[in-house]
Amino acid sequence: MSTDDITDDLTRNTENAPPELLTRSFFFVCAVLSIVTTLSIVLLLVTEASKFFTFTAPLLGVEGPTASVVDFLTGTTWQVGNQEFGVLALVSATVMITIGSGIIAIPLGVATAIYLSEYADEKHRAVLKPALEVLAGIPTVVYGFFALIYITPAVRTVLPGVGTFNLISASVVVGIMIIPMVASISEDAMSAVPDELRQAGYGMGATKLDVSTGIVVPAALSGIFSSFILALSRAIGETMAVTVAAGSQARFLNPLNPAAYQEGALPMTAAMVQLLLGDITGGGLAYRSLFAIGLTLFIITLVMNIISDYVAQRYREEY
């Protein structure tokens, strides 16, 4: 090998050599795929949902029956057979599941986070954290079956009027399912609170109780709130547990009336599964309503994710 070759070898610019270029492009394409996924979700939901609504369908050249967007958003009856598509009937059930699961998951999740971050020693954490992960890892259809077979009879011993399908047991299992989400994100936020703040508290003579509730929780509040929103958005999108346990009859219920939780109802996600399991013809109105619900669901969860990000960024305490 001549000196020239060696000099050439040592000084060549490898940044755009073929192997570099090839691998870099592959990695880049992989990263872009996530954007393609989002774009296809948005495009698909928007075009298919537009075919459902009266005011947009003609733009896409779709003929046949359509539904009014006002009726869709304000109607309270959901009867696919009678061509009545009032999404509020479904939204009310979803809201009730969200409220019910929040009542269970938020206090328990925050308490778990405080315990894990402030009280538990390494040994306990090493056991509790994987156990909590299992809580989130059990398939949701299994949770639905648990609600139907074990929790509803248990609830019935207290409230005899509860139906076979009801929102109480569905909310309970969805709540249990999202505890780990509240707990792990809140715990991350609490662990990020610098130790100096705790030490300062102890230096002032505060007890562990005072430090936990008076210093750590307020300092981590933005993270805790963002965990609530993320977990509730997960509860909204939860499908199989509510499909199995919440019922198949769409009805508009008042989410603020505690007695209404004893009844069964049809949340948005369950309605989508029901539509698909029923015989819908491809391209028919029922098929397109699927995408209209999907779009509604997507927008709700997207807005909640964005709010959660915003809260975490905007109200983060800077140290």
Partner 1 sequence: MATEGQTEILESFGQVNKTAGRLFQYLLQTATAFGIIVLAFLLLFVTNDAIQPLTADPGWHLTFFLTLVVPTLAVGTYVYRRNRDALVFGVMVVGLLVVSLMFSGGAALVLIDIVQPDTWAGISLAFLVPAGLVVGLQRYSRQLPFLVRFGTAVVLFYASLLGVPGPLGALVGVSQVLPNTVDIAPSLLSGVPEWLLVVGFLGVPIALGVGAYFRSVHGTEAGRSAAGVAVLATVAGGLLGPLVGVDPLPATTIAAVAVGPTGAYAVGGGISDPDVREGLLVAGALVGGALVGALAVETVGFVGPQAWVDYQFLTSAHSRNAIDAGLYPAIGGSILLMVTVAVLSFPVGVGAAVYLEEYAPENRFKRFVDVNISNLAGVPSVVYGLLGLGVFVTYLGQPTGTVAIGGATLGLLILPIVIISSREAIRSVPNEQRQASYGMGATKWQTVRNVVLPNAFPGILTGTILALGRAIGETAPLIMIGAPSVVFSLPTEFTAKASAMPLQVFAWASLFASEEFYTQAVPAGVVVLVAVLLAMNSVAIVLRNRYQRD
Between residues 70 and 283, which has the closer beta carbon with respect to partner 1?
Answer: 283
Tell me the closest approach of the beta carbon of residue 85 to partner 1, in angstroms: 17
Between residues 170 and 260, which has the closer beta carbon with respect to partner 1?
Answer: 170
Between residues 177 and 260, which has the closer beta carbon with respect to partner 1?
Answer: 177
CA 115, CA 51: separation in Å to the nearest integer? 51
Tell me the closest approach of the beta carbon of residue 69 to partner 1, in angstroms: 19
Cβ 249 vs Cβ 152: under 8 Å: no
Tell me the closest approach of the beta carbon of residue 81 to partner 1, in angstroms: 19
Tell me the closest approach of the beta carbon of residue 123 to partner 1, in angstroms: 13
Tell me the closest approach of the beta carbon of residue 277 to partner 1, in angstroms: 7
Residues 6+ apart with CB under 8 A from 170: 97, 100, 144, 147, 241, 242, 245, 246
Between residues 10 and 256, which has the closer beta carbon with respect to partner 1?
Answer: 10
Between residues 88 and 240, which has the closer beta carbon with respect to partner 1?
Answer: 240
Tell me the closest approach of the beta carbon of residue 257 to partner 1, in angstroms: 26
Between residues 64 and 139, which has the closer beta carbon with respect to partner 1?
Answer: 139
Tell me the closest approach of the beta carbon of residue 211 to partner 1, in angstroms: 10
Between residues 262 and 301, which has the closer beta carbon with respect to partner 1?
Answer: 301
